[in-house]
Amino acid sequence: MDITIYDVALVPLVMGVVQVAKTLGLSNRFAPLLSVFLGVIIGVATSPNDLLKGIIVGIAVGLSAVGLYSGTKNTIEKE
Taking only the tens place, the pLDDT of each residue in 23-78 is 999 988 888 899 999 999 999 998 888 899 889 989 999 988 888 766 666 566 65
Residues 14 and 36: their CA atoms lie apart, in Å, by 9
Q: How confident is the model at residue 10 (pLDDT cuts 50, 70, 90)?
A: confident
> Does 68 reside within a domain?
yes
> Does 39 reside within a domain?
yes
Question: What pLDDT is recorded for position 65?
Answer: 87
pLDDT above 60 (res 3): no
Question: What pLDDT is recorded for position 66?
Answer: 85
50 by DSSP, 3-state: which?
A: coil
Q: Please give the tally of structural domains in the chain.
A: 1
> Does 79 reside within a domain?
no
**Structural domain that includes position 51:** 11-20+28-73
> Does 5 reside within a domain?
no
> Does 4 reside within a domain?
no
